[in-house]
């Protein structure tokens, strides 16, 4: 059913493309992402959105699309940024380099408050990210909105083709969701998006991909791998769930993970590999190197435990994919290598041995999916935890002593957040070690010890984040407990950095 009247989003490579899919789904419509060359495989779309992208339409390798085919669907089409520029070219206009790249906020001033701009304010903030501009508009072009300088930022060609220069999908475009909603209202009978349907679709895709083979999945106790394991169980495929304890987990996490899986009726096998991990990490301080060691070792240990299973399932989500993308493999640029994107896994992927059913989903959608699979709310609402564990919260070298400090401080912080009702109000919170020794006084003695950093953020999808204005009371009580109970620490700091430019984790 998903092929009928769904919203097809053609991906021209913007970092934000998946957000368009997500916004459309939030508006209750079924949306799917396609490559431009997949246009002939859209089935029966009810509306089509062309995303933005990093290329210039004049680049020799600029992605193009079969316009006659696009037109033949007879449905409303919205071009966003690069998508709008492409439409302008197809309709006889030109696209030229802007005098300077426009990045950041601008103003949207609709010419009329009908159609695409129904219910919008006279002026509202929009978010721009482009270096080309539409010029020489053809006679068939209508300007629907301009910016504060009078430059066209939205165009229409006839009744079905629309373009917007800004990104409606990012929250910095304050009324962007309304623009998307208005666009969707121009389509007829769009298919509804319900997590229940998504679940059914994922279950049948899993059954089809796995067939009679055995699939193994690594579980960490985190939301993603937990939902994945329960999904595989629900699909009824031949599966084994393996929990590799790399020793870089939160305090007592191993016990909790085993207890939770028992509650859910999914048997798991545990491998205690902490000796091995600490051994390999000895003396290694470079963040990407640490990630690589942990990622590759994880696969080795895991694969050893597995024997000769035919498929590996991973709970990779979209933000993991986008942030590890290489310039070559994808059009978005590399920020850091995520645990589930190390060479070894990429190699397995080439052999068609990796299953990533959640790769199109964002965290909150995975949580909703988890609930619909019957997983209890306290498990589904656990804060995200990175694959490389506390290693990325321990800048510099990683050893047991440092990890124990983080575990103890983190347990104190999290319990304080829970006690004050702030755990569920934050997207992610943790303690990290700042391996800088400073002077202090303990008792009557001089101390020369490390600092602990506390971080609590809110985020919608981990792609951007803001630090949380926690009540001073929580910070004070946490700091007091850490300074009095965690040996080796004489200073506690609260991290007030947004993402970007910082990231959520320290490494
Ligand atoms: P950053 O630090 O990149 O984190 O802002 C974004 C989100 O991703 C989590 N994270 C990871 N998750 N494997 C994962 O599965 C990883 O290697 C990894 N690194 C970071 C991080 O905890 C945050 O929620």
**pLDDT at position 317, please?**
86
- Give the residue whose CA is nearest to atom 18 of ligand 1: 386
- Contact between 403 and 247 (Cβ < 8 Å): yes
- For β-strands 161-164 and 77-80, DSSP reports them as parallel
In whole angstroms, give the CA distance from residue 103 to residue 77.
Answer: 25
In whole angstroms, give the CA distance from residue 305 to residue 272.
Answer: 11
Question: Is any ligand 1 atom within 6 A of the Cβ of residue 36?
Answer: no
What does the angle CA 166 – CA 21 – CA 322 come to, to the nearest 5 degrees? 85
Catalytic annotation, pick one of 29, 102, 130, 167: 167
Tokens of 146: 């301009």
**pLDDT at position 464, please?**
82
Length of the chain: 507
Whether residue 492 is predicted with pLDDT greater than 60 in this model: the reply is yes
Catalytic annotation, pick one of 102, 169, 253, 365: 169
Tokens of 505: 């984790």
Tokens of 3: 């092929």
How far is ligand 1, taken at its centre, from the CA of residue 440, in Å? 33
Question: Is any ligand 1 atom within 6 A of the Cβ of residue 384?
Answer: yes
State the average pLDDT over residues 56-79.
Answer: 95
Q: Is 371 helix (H, G, I), strand (E, B) or coil?
A: helix
Bridge partners of 142?
156
How far is ligand 1, taken at its centre, from the CA of residue 25, in Å? 24
**pLDDT at position 375, please?**
96
Catalytic annotation, pick one of 6, 29, 81, 102: 81
pLDDT range class, residue 331, cuts 50, 70, 90: very low
In whole angstroms, give the CA distance from residue 465 to residue 498.
Answer: 6
**pLDDT at position 330, please?**
42
How far is ligand 1, taken at its centre, from the CA of residue 504, in Å? 7
What does the angle CA 94 – CA 99 – CA 104 come to, to the nearest 5 degrees? 100
- Contact between 263 and 221 (Cβ < 8 Å): no
For the question of residue 81 being annotated catalytic, the response is: yes
Collect contacts of 150-159 with beta carbons under 8 A, ≥24 apart: 153/106, 153/108, 153/126, 154/84, 154/108, 154/110, 154/116, 154/117, 155/84, 155/87, 155/88, 156/115, 156/116, 157/87, 157/91
Sign of CA dihedral 95, 99, 102, 108: negative
In whole angstroms, give the CA distance from residue 281 to residue 396.
Answer: 11
267: CB partners within 8 A, 6+ apart: 241, 261
State the average pLDDT over residues 213-220.
Answer: 93
Domains belonging to the chain, first-starting first, are: 7-184 (3.40.50.880), 195-380 (3.40.50.620), 400-494 (3.30.300.10)
| Nearest partner of 55 among 89, 83, 19, judged by Cα | 83
Atom from ligand 1 closest to the CA of residue 502? 5
For the question of residue 167 being annotated catalytic, the response is: yes
Tell me the pTM: 0.76
How far is ligand 1, taken at its centre, from the CA of residue 143, in Å? 42
412: CB partners within 8 A, 6+ apart: 431, 478, 481, 482, 485, 486
For the question of residue 432 being annotated catalytic, the response is: no
State the average pLDDT over residues 203-223.
Answer: 94
């Amino acid at each position: 059913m998903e092929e009928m009247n769904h919203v097809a989003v053609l991906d021209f490579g913007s970092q934000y493309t998946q957000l368009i899919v997500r916004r459309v789904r939030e508006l209750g419509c079924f949306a799917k992402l396609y490559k431009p060359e997949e246009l002939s495989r859209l089935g029966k779309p009810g509306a089509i959105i062309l995303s933005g992208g990093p290329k210039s339409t004049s680049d020799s390798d600029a992605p193009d699309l079969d316009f006659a085919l696009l037109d033949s669907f007879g449905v409303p089409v919205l071009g966003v940024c690069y998508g709008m520029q492409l439409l302008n070219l197809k309709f006889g206009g030109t696209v030229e380099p802007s005098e300077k790249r426009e990045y950041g906020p601008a103003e949207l001033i609709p010419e009329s408050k009908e159609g695409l701009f129904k219910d919008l304010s006279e002026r509202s903030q929009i978010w721009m990210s482009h270096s080309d501009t539409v010029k020489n508009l053809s006679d068939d072009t209508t300007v629907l909105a301009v910016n504060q300088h009078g430059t066209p930022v939205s165009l229409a060609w006839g009744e079905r083709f629309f373009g917007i220069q800004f990104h409606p999908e990012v929250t910095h475009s304050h009324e962007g969701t309304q623009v998307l909603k208005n666009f969707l209202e121009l389509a007829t009978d769009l298919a509804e998006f319900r997590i229940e349907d998504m679940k059914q679709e994922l279950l049948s895709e899993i059954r089809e991909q796995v067939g009679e083979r055995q699939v193994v999945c690594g579980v960490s106790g985190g939301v993603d791998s937990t939902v994945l394991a329960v999904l595989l169980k629900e699909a009824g495929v031949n599966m084994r769930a393996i929990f590799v304890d790399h020793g870089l987990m939160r305090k007592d996490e191993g016990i909790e993970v085993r207890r939770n899986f028992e509650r859910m009726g999914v048997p798991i096998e545990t491998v205690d590999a902490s000796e091995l991990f600490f051994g390999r990490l000895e003396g290694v301080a470079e963040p990407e190197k640490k990630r690589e060691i942990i990622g590759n070792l994880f696969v080795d240990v895991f694969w050893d435990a597995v024997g000769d299973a035919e498929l590996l399932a991973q709970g990779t989500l979209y933000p993991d994919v986008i942030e590890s993308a290489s310039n070559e493999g994808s059009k978005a640029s590399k920020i850091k290598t995520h645990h589930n994107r190390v060479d070894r896994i990429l190699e397995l992927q080439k052999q068609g041995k990796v299953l990533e059913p959640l790769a199109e989903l964002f965290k909150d959608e995975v949580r909703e999916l988890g609930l619909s699979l019957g997983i209890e709310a306290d498990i589904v609402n656990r804060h995200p935890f990175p694959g490389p564990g506390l290693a990325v919260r321990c800048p510099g070298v990683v050893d047991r002593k440092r990890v124990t400090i983080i575990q103890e401080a983190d347990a104190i912080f999290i319990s304080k957040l829970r006690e004050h009702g702030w755990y569920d109000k934050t997207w992610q919170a943790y303690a990290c070690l700042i391996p800088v020794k400073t002077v202090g006084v303990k008792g009557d003695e001089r101390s020369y010890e490390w600092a602990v950093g506390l971080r609590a953020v809110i985020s919608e999808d981990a792609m951007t984040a803001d630090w949380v204005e926690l009540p001073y009371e929580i910070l004070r009580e946490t700091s007091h407990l850490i300074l009095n109970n965690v040996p080796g620490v004489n200073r506690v700091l609260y991290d007030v950095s947004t993402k970007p430019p910082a990231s959520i984790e320290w490494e």
